[in-house]
Each structure stands twice: as C-alpha cells, then as structure tokens.
Amino acid sequence: QSALTQEASVSGTVGQKVTLSCTGNSNNIGSYAVGWYQQISHGAPKTVMFGNSLPSGIPDRFSGSKSGTTASLTISGLQPEDEADYYCSTWDYSLSAWVFGGGTKLTVL
Amino acid sequence: QVQLVESGGGVVQPGGSLRLSCAASGFTFTRNDMHWVRQAPGKGLEWVAFIRHDGSNKYHADSVKGRFTISRDNSKNTLYLQMNSLRAEDTAVYYCAKAMNRDGYSYFDYWGQGTLVTVSS
C-alpha cells in the first residue's frame, strides 16, 4: 500500500481540463512540496512538475497546486500525447524516505 | 544535455548479488544528489536509495536496508547500487535519477532509461 493515494484511473476528451489528485498526511504532503512524474507506456519517467513550477520543455497546460495534505496536477486542454501514467512523490520525514503514490492512469478519449 | 545510462542488470539467482552502475553526463555530477528508483513488472514506482552529492549522507528504503548500498565515484561521474541477498521481489527495472533542489524542497529531475534485474532460479 502506497503512502500517497492517487486515483487509479482518470479519463478525459481532447481539449478538456482534468485534475489528478494525490493525498498524503502531515508527515509528507502537509510539510513538503510534491513532484509529478509522467510515464508513457512503461518507458522512463519524465518530470512534469516541481511543486507548482514547470520544468523547462513542459507545456504550460500543466499546472500544480497543493492544499493541506492533498496535491493536484491539472492538465488544461488535454492532448492525445498526455495519455500516460502519472505519479506523485514527496519526502516523508517520519519514514525518512521518499514516497510515491500508486499512480493514475490517464486515458485520453 | 543530461544523460543517465544505467547498466549491470541481468538475471541472478535468489540470494545472489549484482552491482548496478549509472554513468552521468551533461551536468556537474559532483554537485548533484542522486537516487535509485525501481519499478516491478506491472507495478508503480518505488524509491530505493538516495545519496548526497559528496556521499556524506545516504538513505535506503526499509525494503532494501541492510541488503542494498548506494555509493558514488565522483571522479568517474558514476552512481552505483550494490545489491546483495537478492529476493524474487527485487525483480524490477531500476532507474537512476538526478535530484533537484528548489526552494528548499527536493525532487526527482532527470531519469535514466533503466536496467532490468530479474531474480529467479
């Protein structure tokens, strides 16, 4: 069982806005920023969000936010190439470990 | 551009050992913290180990503590993962990842392509 909880699957149509969530507790998300990682067809992961900052080369339709112990990744204007598994991750100070969510499979209909 | 190239994966029997390497280029390796992350077949990402840029501090996941050891050779721009007492549940693709610190927080930044470790008799 993952320390962070994500939806197993989310779907949307091209052009739609979708939001993926990641829920933790005060030991992790409540105290630290969250990174988001995209994995297409079990290839190498790619970083798409540092907290609420975009890595270079990532389109600005991606945005990140956090409220309390829940972080969110929003994709505005969904594109076919956004179909992937998305993982959230942060540091957990009670575990002295980086923790991941179980991943959300995003399907673009 | 940043490149991380893992090697050393393969098939090993339960109880055996393997050493993974990750050759880094395109950035100042000596100034960057590094991670190993793994992914079992059909499963999600699992953090394995972390090492500070100068090797002064290391963390290992409970699932590998006492069996795996992360290390680095800054003169060779290479990250290592020594894996001993391997178990079937260690079967996974192992990724090395460059860490990035921003605004006091740490993230995974660039990732390698991964190397497959299969533990089987």
H or E element at residue A104: strand A104-108
Question: Could you report the per-residue pLDDT of B66-99, keeping only the tens digit for each?
Answer: 999 999 999 999 999 999 999 999 999 999 999 9
H or E element at residue A65: strand A62-67
Q: A36 falls in which pLDDT band (50, 70, 90)?
A: very high
Q: What percent of chain B has pLDDT over 70?
A: 100
B contacts of A45 (beta carbons < 8 Å): 37, 45, 95, 97, 108, 111
Which DSSP category does A55 fall into?
Answer: P
Question: What average pLDDT is seen over chain B?
Answer: 97
Q: A42 falls in which pLDDT band (50, 70, 90)?
A: confident
Question: What average pLDDT is seen over chain A?
Answer: 96
Beta strands in B13-113 (DSSP E): 18-25, 34-39, 45-51, 58-60, 68-73, 78-83, 92-102, 105-111
Residue range A66-70: mean pLDDT, rounded: 97
Residues in contact with A81: Cβ distance below 8 Å, sequence separation at least 6, in sequence order: none
- A61 CB neighbour count, 10 Å cutoff: 14
As a whole number of angstroms, the distance between CA B97 and CA B83 comes to: 17
- Structure confidence at residue B85 (pLDDT): 98
Q: B36 falls in which pLDDT band (50, 70, 90)?
A: very high
Q: Is the pLDDT of residue B106 over 90?
A: no
The angle at the Cα of B4, spanning A107 to B9, to the nearest 5 degrees, equals 85
* Interchain CB contact of A23 with B (< 8 Å): no
Strand B68-73: give its sheet, edge to edge.
B3-7, B18-25, B78-83, B68-73
For residues B117 and B91, the answer to whether their CB atoms sit within 8 Å is yes
List the single residue in A with minimal CA-CA distance to B61. A97
- Structure confidence at residue B32 (pLDDT): 96
Q: Is the pLDDT of residue A30 over 90?
A: yes
Residue range A25-44: mean pLDDT, rounded: 96
For residues B69 and B57, the answer to whether their CB atoms sit within 8 Å is no
Q: How far is CA B110 from CA A55, B54, B114, in A?
A: 10, 19, 12
Q: Is the pLDDT of residue A2 over 90?
A: no
- Structure confidence at residue A52 (pLDDT): 87
- Structure confidence at residue B105 (pLDDT): 85
As a whole number of angstroms, the distance between CA B92 and CA A99 comes to: 17
Nearest to A33 among B97, B105, B114 (CB): B105
Q: How far is CA B4 from CA A85, B18, B24, B44, B82, in A?
A: 21, 19, 5, 21, 18
